[in-house]
Amino acid sequence: QTTLGDAAAAQGRYFGTAVAVDRLGEPDYTATLNREFNSITAENSWKWESLQPSPGYFDFSTADRIAEHARQQGMELRGHTLVWHSQLPSWVENIGSADELRAVMRNHITTVMEHYKGQVRSWDVVNEAFEDGNSGARRNSVFQRVLGDSWIEEAFWIAREADPNATLCYNDYNTDAWNTAKTQAVYNMVADFVSRGVPIDCVGFQAHFNSGNPVPENYHITLQNFADLGVEVQLTELDIAGSGASQAEQYAGVTLACLAVPQCTGITVWGVTDKYSWRAEDTPLLFDGNYNPKQAYYAVLETLGGS
């Protein structure tokens, strides 16, 4: 019997999950995590509000438990996330001076990346900087308002300096279907960065799917188009609302899309068990509330060549 992690590794990929620190004490949770996955993303504990709740005060105590678990288990780490409008403390949201915000952004990225230097394979340097809907516009965040369009590339330059060996990702959701304003806006930004030498290495597709954002029929085309710009692509927060055969089929399709694209280096699902999912009512994950593998689990495993 193979596992998701082993089967993905045989395909030259990782298979990861988001982890909530306070669940690590639950034996079934940790057993499932350790058996099936070989990469971890902290679901919440590496976010700005957790790491630097007040100006200049960094607290890595909870975050380090994720890193320690990964180290003990020989798992990779994805760093999520350095600059994001959400789970951002109000002291940052209230900064009105560009010089001050720039210095604060630099200090946060540098301190966090240096703390974990050499331990994190990929970082979500910037998360969710574009609006939903048809505008293709940048999201109205404090970074966008105070620093203007250049804030994203500034973040990537700072990140490259802080840990030159990490893979630097731009991460977003609803960027799966190719012909939408949001996907095109992100694509254009990445193309522009690559052409001007801004240090971006990767695009993360959160891949949160439901009826509003269904799995596109030719998902691999979107992934391949981005990869053709010269970046890695990763599925960073995969979950698919549904159940049974239909959910399993969609999971298989997404897995196949990644396998079809040589530059798709790995898949992370956004949680171990349905019961702790951020949208538990959608039962979007691979294990049910009792840690039994679902049809979706077997579909992913078989698509990865495992059994």
By annotation, the residues acting in catalysis are 128, 237
- What string of H, E and C letters represents the secondary structure of the chain? CCCHHHHHHHCCCEEEEEECHHHCCCHHHHHHHHHHCCEEEECCCCCHHHHCCECCECCCHHHHHHHHHHHHHCCEEEEEEEEECCCCCHHHHCCCCHHHHHHHHHHHHHHHHHHCCCCCCEEEEEECCECCCCCCCECCCHHHHHHCCCHHHHHHHHHHHHCCCCEEEEEECCCCCCCCHHHHHHHHHHHHHHHHCCCCCEEEECCEEECCECCCCCHHHHHHHHHCCCCEEEEEEEEECCCHHHHHHHHHHHHHHHHCCCCEEEEEECCCEHHHCCCHHHCCCCECCCCCECHHHHHHHHHCCCC
Comparing CB distances to ligand G3I, the nearer of 9 and 177 is 177
* Identified binder of ligand G3I from the candidate list 28, 31, 71, 86, rule CB under 6 A: 86
- Separation CA 89–CA 107 (nearest Å): 15
Tokens in use for 99? 């010089």
CB of 41 to ligand G3I, least distance (A): 9
Q: If binding is defined by CB under 6 A, does position 43 make contact with ligand G3I?
A: yes
Closer residue to ligand G3I in complex, CB, 43/274: 43
Cβ-based nearer residue to ligand G3I, 123 or 259: 123
Please, what is the minimum distance in Å from the beta carbon of residue 62 to ligand G3I? Answer: 10
Please, what sign has the CA dihedral across residues 39, 45, 46, 47? positive
Residues 219-248 that bind ligand G3I (CB under 6 A): 237
Give the residue nearest to ligand G3I (CB): 278
To the nearest whole angstrom, how small is the minimum distance from the Cβ of residue 197 to ligand G3I? 28
> Which residue number, 47 or 121, has a Cβ lying nearer to ligand G3I?
47
Which of 44, 119, 225, 295 is the binder for ligand G3I (CB under 6 A)? Answer: 44
| One character per residue 181-220, x = contact with ligand G3I (rule: CB under 6 A) | -------------------------x--------------
Rounded to a whole number of angstroms, the minimum distance from the CB of residue 77 to ligand G3I is: 15
Considering only residues 153 through 182, tell me which ones interact with ligand G3I, judged by CB under 6 A.
Answer: 173
Minimum CB distance to ligand G3I smaller for 76 or for 237: 237
Per the rule left: phi > 0, alpha: psi between -120 and 50, beta: everything else, 117 is beta
Q: Which is nearer to ligand G3I, 116 or 304 (CB)?
A: 116
Residues 264-293 within binding reach of ligand G3I (CB under 6 A) = 278
Query: The dihedral of CA 35, 37, 38, 43: what is its sign?
Result: negative
Shortest distance, CB of residue 86 to ligand G3I, whole angstroms?
5
Residue 97 makes contact with ligand G3I by CB under 6 A: no
Q: Residue 200 Cβ, how far from ligand G3I at the closest point, in Å?
A: 19
Where along the sequence are the contacts to ligand G3I (CB under 6 A)?
43-44, 86-87, 173, 206, 237, 278
